Chain A
Amino acid sequence: MSTAVTNVKMGQGPHLMGTDRSDQPASLLTARTAIVAVLSLGVAVVLGDAGVVTLALPEILRDFGAQVWGVAWVLIAFNVVLALVAVPAARLCVRGDPAVATASGVIGFAAATTVCAVAPSLGVLIAARAAQAVGGALVIVGSLELLVAATGVERAGVRRWAAAGVAGAALGPVIGGLLTSAFSWRAIFVVQIPIVLLALPAAIALRGRAVQRRRPTLDTSPDRPHLLANLALALLSAALTAALFLLVLLLVDGWTRSPAVAAVAVTAVPVAALAAGPVFRGVRAGTRSEAVAGSVLIAGGLTGLALLPGAELAWTLAPQVLIGLGLGLSVDSLTAAALRDRIPRALHGGWTIAARHAGVVVGLAILTPIFTADLRHAQTPAEEAIASLVLDAPLPASTKLDLAEQLGRRLAAERGRVPDLRPAFKTLRVPATQAPAAAALERGLEDQLKRAATRAFRTSFLVAAGLALLALGPALALRDRSRS
């Protein structure tokens, strides 16, 4: 890496841009590949941060002894600030050198991430998350210009930037969940610091390159943002928030799966998103058809999550694959459409980031009250189902009375959350002849709780599917231009 960067700094840089790869020495190609890789990684890390703490929220809540609404701000603060500062950060890149902006952003992001990792209180963590978003905004929009400069081809640079964003957004919750399970929520931030710092030498190496490249266009007034593509991106981001945020909540809180299992289960979305390109290569026919197909797939996948026939992880896979394919097709395509032939590029990149994260915030704002209210309302049918099974269980009345007392305590202790009824059965003393009936009752009660939790998420998933369908409006109005 260091040799490659040195080569670029020693005046061989111009060969990196806009020249035929076959003319370049292998070391330059390696340098270019390395620079593109670390910049893409930086973009993926920053955009992954939007949802990286989703699976860590319960642990953060416990660590700080905070309220649910307070902990939700760890997620919301990053997205709100990123949506607000993406365009101003892009203007900064346009006025100055994107490499300097990116390097400053990397340093700011790494510093804020360090504070997140050692945050002594929830307030400090939320403030550091907001600071992370400010640094992150500079990294994202600056990297767009740098990736175009490094690849030497506008379309390739933009595509790489969009793909890195899609991969980061889709993989963020998965990686966050795995790190939280393996170590702690603080590990999420510790791991990010060295990864994002890799982009620093790449940004320094490209100092002045992006300015050189855009010089002829500086005097022209900026193009207006692509309203339709950005609107579709915002709506799809709102819907995708549901896909990742609500699904992990359903798995962890509703179905009482561990964060690690939930993290592995939701990998279907990023895997399908990354596979969308190769899978549909033969039939990709332009921005509009891709955006329309993507919206349909995301809406269909979310409807599938609303209509789960059971609480087995396998049932979530096909809907997740639909969502992932839709994500891979539409976000990539809409981002390319929003940037195509528009200058300054960084500013329009900033608009797409602002649109996507405003969508995430709007999605959370719409869906959170719906599913929390539904979860509360699910309590009555769940309690009635439990009462029904206990009353009709083939157990002696005295055992049922004992069990009812224990279950009542569990339900009262975890009011507002899906209760864990296993302790009630662990303390139950039954003769060996009644053990199978007691075990069957325990399984039956757990099934009823899962049914109630799954039902409680249905409306939220359907509303999210509605948001994805709304994206069809702007998607259909797009001009259908071929990507190739």
Chain B
Amino acid sequence: MTRLALPLIAVLLVAAVLSVQVAAGGGHYVPLRPANPCTPRPVSPIPAQLEPLAEQIVLLGLDSAACQLGISRERLVLALAETRSLDPRESAALKAGLVDAVDLLDRQGRLPKVSQLLPQALDQANLPGIVKTIIEAIPDPVVDNLLPTAPLLHRTVDELDINRLLHDLNDPRQLNSGLQSAILRAALRQILDRLHP
């Protein structure tokens, strides 16, 4: 029994230390695992501003694209940051993902009306003052009737040159310019379609 005392004490000491460590989460101190991109994430309220809306659409769009491509959203983002270009399959998946994101927000009634976004858009737009004044004079119901948000965003996604945007990621001015021209082209096409159905 005396000879067993020391090994028994050793076993008890080890068991005590390991129990405390495991109880404190010892086996689970690992890096955050990326969420499954195919599982919908909760969407936080979106203020009626361009940047938060664009960010939410991009985040949801990345999830949807990653789900289609069978990788995590984070892996997709890291790959985009590293290569700064997309093959046609990835580009199609990303555009489809952005469209899915717009549809999801539309179904949830989270898309702000274009009239709510217009003042900020005009503020940032590189348009002559007279044009801005004329557009501001258009009543909100007319704007929202001519440019429903979801179809406008669908067209904007169509107009986007994803590879160009990725290339300009480090240049906020170029990035904004690319986005604005895509939105402007989409708005014009939508207005023309409404006027000449």
Contacts and interface: CB of A to CB of B under 8 A. Distances in A.
Interface of A: 280, 283-286, 288-290, 292-294, 296-297, 299-301, 303-304, 307-311, 315, 318-319, 322, 325-326, 329, 378, 381-385, 387-389, 391-392, 396-398, 401, 404-405, 408, 448, 451-452, 454-455, 480
Contact of A384 (B5, B7, B72): B72
Interface stretch (B9-17, B97-105, B124-132, B136-144): B9-17
B21 interface: yes
A296 B11 contact: yes
Dominant secondary structure at the A interface: helix
A455 B21 contact: no
A396 B72 CA distance: 22
List the 3 shortest-distance A-B pairs measured between CB atoms, nearest first.
Answer: A300-B14, A307-B26, A309-B24
Given A300-B10, A401-B172, A318 B20 contact: yes
Contacts of B25: 309-310
Contact of A296 (B2, B10, B72): B10
Given A307-B18, A308-B26, A384-B34, A322 B5 contact: no
A289 B4 contact: yes
Contacts of A382: 31
Contact of B22 (A285, A307, A384): A307
Contacts of B74: 383-385, 387-388, 391
Given A384-B72, A391-B77, A398-B172, A448 B31 contact: yes
Contacts of A389: 32
B69 to A, nearest CB: 15
A319 B17 contact: yes
A293 B77 contact: no
Contact of A388 (B3, B32, B81): B32
B75 A384 contact: yes
A387 B34 CA distance: 9
27 contacts: A285-B5, A289-B3, A289-B6, A292-B6, A293-B6, A293-B9, A296-B7, A296-B14, A300-B15, A303-B18, A309-B26, A309-B29, A381-B33, A383-B78, A384-B31, A384-B32, A384-B34, A387-B78, A388-B35, A391-B62, A397-B55, A401-B170, A405-B169, A452-B30, A455-B30, A455-B31, A480-B3
Contacts of A315: 21, 24
A304 B32 contact: no
B181 to A, nearest CB: 18
B26 A326 contact: no
A401 B21 contact: no
A451 B30 CA distance: 5
Contacts of A280: 6, 9
A310 B169 CA distance: 36
Contacts of A299: 14
A387 B76 CA distance: 10
B27 interface: yes
B4 to A, nearest CB: 7
B31 A397 contact: no
Contacts, number: 148
B161 interface: no
A385 B73 contact: no
Contacts of A310: 24-25, 29
Nearest to B176: A398
Interface residues of B, number: 46
Contact of B21 (A293, A308, A408): A308
Contacts of B191: none
Given A308-B21, A308-B29, A322 B14 contact: yes
Given A388-B34, A397-B58, A398-B51, 16 more contacts: A283-B5, A286-B3, A288-B3, A289-B4, A289-B5, A289-B7, A300-B13, A300-B15, A300-B18, A307-B22, A308-B26, A310-B25, A315-B24, A319-B21, A397-B51, A451-B30
Given A326-B10, A397-B51, A451 B21 contact: no
Contacts of B78: 383-384, 387
A385 B31 CA distance: 6
A408 B77 CA distance: 12
Interface string B18-53: 101110111101111111000000000000000110
A392 B55 CA distance: 10
B18 A396 contact: no
B54 interface: yes
B17 A454 contact: no
Interface string B153-197: 000000000000000011010010000000000000000000000
B17 A300 contact: yes
Contacts of B77: 387, 391
Contacts of B146: none
B169 A454 contact: no
A385 B59 CA distance: 16
Given A309-B21, A326-B10, A408-B81, A285 B29 contact: no
Q: Which of B20, B26, B31, B77 has the most CB of A within 10 A?
A: B31
Contacts of A322: 13-14, 17
Nearest to B2: A285
B34 to A, nearest CB: 5
Given A307-B26, A387-B74, A451-B30, A293 B51 contact: no
Nearest to B30: A455
B31 A452 contact: yes
Contact of B7 (A293, A303, A307, A378): A293
A290 B21 contact: no
A405 B170 CA distance: 7
Contacts of A325: 10, 13
Nearest to B56: A397
A301 B14 CA distance: 7
Contacts of A311: 29
A380 to B, nearest CB: 8
A319 B17 CA distance: 7
Nearest to A315: B21
Q: Which of A286, A382, A385, A387 has the most CB of B within 10 A?
A: A387
